[in-house]
C-alpha cells in the first residue's frame, strides 16, 4: 500500500517506478533472509511463544480421544493448551515453574503442546520414551524434516495428520504434526536423489 502511495500516483510503469520496485524487491529479500540467519545464529534460543487460545483449541480438536485418556501438556506456560483439554485426566510440566519435561515419567495417552523449537530432537525422543498413543505438536515449518518423520516411523508412530497454518508475528509457517502409534504417514517420502538428464 505504502509502496503505491510513494510511487507515481498514476501507477504508470515509467522507469522511476521500475527502479523503485527493483530496490524494494532487493531490500525485502535481504530483510527476510536476515531474519532467518539471525534465528539460526542467536546464542540464546527464544523458546517462549504463547499459542493463541483459538489455535490451541483447534489443535486439541484434531485429536480423537477416549474418555479415560490421560492428556499431557509438557510445556504449559500460560495453560492455553492444558486449560482447554477436554477432560480432567490431565498433567503438565513447565520449566519456569520448576517442572522439567525431561524428568517426567508418568504414563500418559496423549501429548499435545507447542514445544521449545531449539530442542526438537530431544523433545521427540523424550515423547517417544513415554509411549503415548498420540504425540501432537505445533512446530515451525523448518522443524519438520524427513529424517525426523523417519525416526518417528522407526519408533512406531506415523505422521497421521498435518495442518499448515500461519500465526501472526511468528517466523514463517507453523505446522501441527500429529503422530499416532501404528498409523500410516499422511505424506509420502521419496528418498531418491534425482539428477538432470539433459
Ligand X SMILES: C[S@@+](CC[C@H](N)C(=O)[O-])C[C@H]1O[C@@H](n2cnc3c(N)ncnc32)[C@H](O)[C@@H]1O
Cell triple for residue 106? 508418568
Does 157 participate in binding ligand X (rule CB under 6 A)? no
| Contacts of 29 by beta carbon, 8 Å cutoff, 6+ apart | none
Question: What is the sign, positive or negative, of the torsion defined by CA atoms of 169, 171, 174, 179?
Answer: negative
148 φ, ψ to 5°? -65, -40
Q: Considering beta carbons, is residue 103 or 188 the nearer one to ligand X?
A: 103
Give me the least distance between CB of 16 and ligand X, in Å please: 45
Does 47 participate in binding ligand X (rule CB under 6 A)? yes
Q: Considering beta carbons, is residue 80 or 143 the nearer one to ligand X?
A: 80
Distance CA 93, CA 31 (A): 37
Q: Considering beta carbons, is residue 132 or 158 the nearer one to ligand X?
A: 132
Distance CA 44, CA 188 (A): 35
Q: Considering beta carbons, is residue 72 or 158 the nearer one to ligand X?
A: 72
Supply the DSSP symbol for 98: T
Does 75 participate in binding ligand X (rule CB under 6 A)? yes
- The residue within the footprint of ligand X, chosen from 50, 173, 186, 187 (CB under 6 A), is 50
- The residue within the footprint of ligand X, chosen from 20, 39, 84, 102 (CB under 6 A), is 102
Residues 113, 73 contacting (CB under 8 angstroms): yes
Residues 171, 36 contacting (CB under 8 angstroms): yes
Q: Considering beta carbons, is residue 85 or 157 the nearer one to ligand X?
A: 85
Does 54 participate in binding ligand X (rule CB under 6 A)? no
Does 165 participate in binding ligand X (rule CB under 6 A)? no
- Contacts with ligand X by CB under 6 A: the residue count is 22
Question: Regarding beta strands 110-113 and 174-181, do their DSSP bridges make them parallel or antiparallel, or are they unpaired?
Answer: unpaired
Cell triple for residue 117? 523449537
- The residue within the footprint of ligand X, chosen from 113, 136, 143, 174 (CB under 6 A), is 113
Does 136 participate in binding ligand X (rule CB under 6 A)? no
The site for ligand X (CB under 6 A) is made up of 47-51, 74-78, 80-81, 93-96, 100-102, 113-114, 116
Amino acid at each position: 500500500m505504502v509502496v503505491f502511495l510513494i510511487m507515481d500516483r498514476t501507477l504508470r510503469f515509467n522507469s522511476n517506478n521500475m527502479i523503485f520496485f527493483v530496490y524494494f524487491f532487493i531490500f525485502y529479500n535481504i530483510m527476510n533472509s536476515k531474519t532467518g540467519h539471525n534465528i539460526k545464529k542467536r546464542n540464546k534460543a527464544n523458546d517462549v511463544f504463547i499459542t493463541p487460545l483459538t489455535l490451541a483449541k483447534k489443535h486439541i480438536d484434531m485429536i480423537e480421544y477416549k474418555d479415560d485418556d490421560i492428556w499431557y501438556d509438557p510445556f504449559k506456560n500460560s495453560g492455553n493448551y492444558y486449560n482447554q483439554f477436554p477432560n480432567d485426566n490431565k498433567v503438565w510440566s513447565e520449566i519456569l515453574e520448576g517442572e522439567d519435561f525431561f524428568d517426567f515419567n508418568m504414563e500418559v495417552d496423549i501429548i499435545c503442546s507447542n514445544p521449545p523449537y531449539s530442542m526438537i530432537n530431544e523433545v521427540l525422543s523424550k515423547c517417544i520414551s513415554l509411549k503415548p498413543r498420540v504425540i501432537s505438536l505445533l512446530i515451525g515449518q523448518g522443524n519438520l524434516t524427513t529424517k525426523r518423520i523417519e525416526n518417528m516411523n522407526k519408533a512406531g508412530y506415523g505422521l497421521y495428520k498435518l495442518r499448515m497454518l500461519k500465526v501472526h508475528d511468528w517466523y514463517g509457517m507453523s505446522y501441527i504434526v500429529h503422530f499416532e502409534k501404528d498409523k500410516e504417514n499422511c505424506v509420502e517420502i521419496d528418498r531418491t536423489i534425482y539428477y538432470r538428464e539433459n
